[in-house]
Amino acid sequence: MQQIIDRRLAGKNKSIGNRERFLRRYKGQIKDAVRRAIDGRGIRDLERGEDVHIPKKDVSEPVFHHGSGGQREMVHPGNQEYIAGDKIARPKGGQGGGGSGSGQASDSGEGEDDFVFSLSKEEFMQVFFEDLALPHLIRTQLAETPEWKSHRAGFTNDGTPNNLHVVRSMRGALGRRIALGMDKRRALHALEEELEARQAEPAGTDRDAAIADLLSRIELLRGRISAIPFLDPIDLRFRSRVKVPVPTSKAVMFCVMDVSGSMDESRKELSKRFFILLYLFLTKHYEKIDIVFIRHHTQAQEVNEHDFFHATETGGTVVSSALVLMEEIIRARYPSDQWNIYGAQASDGDNWHHDSGRCRELLEQKILPLCRYFAYVQVAEPEQNLWEEYCRLAETAGPHFAMRKATAADQIYPIFRDLFKKEGAPA
């Protein structure tokens, strides 16, 4: 009997493997497309797919086929006007009415030069963060209050009842019982055989006495055998668990931004891009991430995300106020032995000139020792005294301090990649 099979629930996406192979092959082009996409995109829709264009000649698979030329005879339907012997002007482009089998014509309307397809959101993000590593990924781990994780470590002879391993214990007990009872059972066996032999003999007092003796000895042995304990304390086995310290997986990210009058919307937008990139990046590496937003003009305050980006303030600029506040918050809430601390500062570089030196000192002595990484992005071109002081700092501070300049949206992503590139990977 023929039957109908419902395949609809049986796996779709059979082509996923093939699709992955395709993406792997065209990684270079895809990376470029992602980079361009980041440049042109708003932050809110950063986590979205993207169309990728690949020149058609790059994805073609060559086979032998006829080129144009030579002599060809073709049959077409729908003759309206011709009779045998008519001459027709050759159509432009050399193709005499199609049908050559090598159709180059594009039916997509997207131009015949490109093979276009969409990356999904996940694929997009994967390409986006490829080759990026957290700088100095020695995760915080100190002896005093490390985080512990318990691991199995075989079996031990003592432990708490809840860790008792029954099968192991019973196996041990069985072995012990066999071992301890071995010679007794062998003796018992011999006695029983002797008893049987005696019982087969003709009756007599001699025999009865021997049987009685044998019986009592058998009785004694049986008693001994049954006295072997079924389970002895030495049989017990317990699962052993040991505690090993694990690196903490908590991170806090400080976003420090200048909101003085000189920071206009477009500069804030630039800063925001950088912060968002950093945030997305950290979410790839840490389970728990806190973000602290500190904005400042002449005074610093901790604010929520909305106020951070949208509230407008005016006034002068004292950058050090924000750094002082950052240090206070770290001391109060984010002990550096338990938290991985990342700092990102964005400013237009405009600072009260007596303050810049202080900023450098603060960073150098107080903040950098506590941080995994501190990045400074200047969203304006002029190099003022803050930039100069930070340059001095960069020379001495070592690899966990970095500074770059970004003046247009399309520079943010390259700078980000530059700062976080894996060692040895091209930016």
Output the smallest distance, CB 71 to other proteins, in A.
4
How many Å apart are CA 14 and CA 48, to the nearest integer? Answer: 24
Q: Which is nearer to other proteins, 13 or 162 (CB)?
A: 13
**Which residues inside 84-143 make contact with other proteins, applying CB under 8 A?**
84-90, 96-99, 101-103, 107-108, 115-118
Helix 27-40 and helix 121-129, axial crossing angle in degrees, nearest 10: 100
Output the smallest distance, CB 36 to other proteins, in A.
19
Q: Which is nearer to other proteins, 54 or 322 (CB)?
A: 54
Q: Which is nearer to other proteins, 9 or 203 (CB)?
A: 9
Options 45, 63, 152, 161; binder of other proteins; rule CB under 8 A:
63
Output the smallest distance, CB 73 to other proteins, in A.
5
Residue 5 touching other proteins (CB under 8 A): yes
Q: Which is nearer to other proteins, 18 or 150 (CB)?
A: 18
If we measure between CA atoms, which residue out of 303, 298, 387, 395 comes closest to residue 348? 387
How many Å separate Cα 54 from the centre of its chain? Answer: 28
Label residues 134-167 b or e (16+ Cβ within 10 Å = b). bbeeebbeeeeebeeeeeeeebeeebeeeeebee
Output the smallest distance, CB 130 to other proteins, in A.
17
Task: Look at strands 147-156 and 114-119 and give their pairing.
Answer: unpaired
Is residue 68 classed exposed, middle or buried when 0-12, 13-18 and 19+ CB atoms within 10 A define those classes? exposed
Label residues 17-27 b or e (16+ Cβ within 10 Å = b). eeeeeebeebe
How many Å apart are CA 254 and CA 342, to the nearest integer? Answer: 6
Site string for other proteins, 7-26 (x = CB under 8 A): xx---xxxx-xxxxxxxxx-
Q: Which is nearer to other proteins, 75 or 167 (CB)?
A: 75
Residue 395 touching other proteins (CB under 8 A): no
How many Å apart are CA 412 and CA 199, to the nearest integer? Answer: 104
Q: Which is nearer to other proteins, 59 or 187 (CB)?
A: 59
The residues binding other proteins (CB under 8 A) are 2-8, 12-15, 17-25, 59, 61-80, 82-90, 96-99, 101-103, 107-108, 115-118
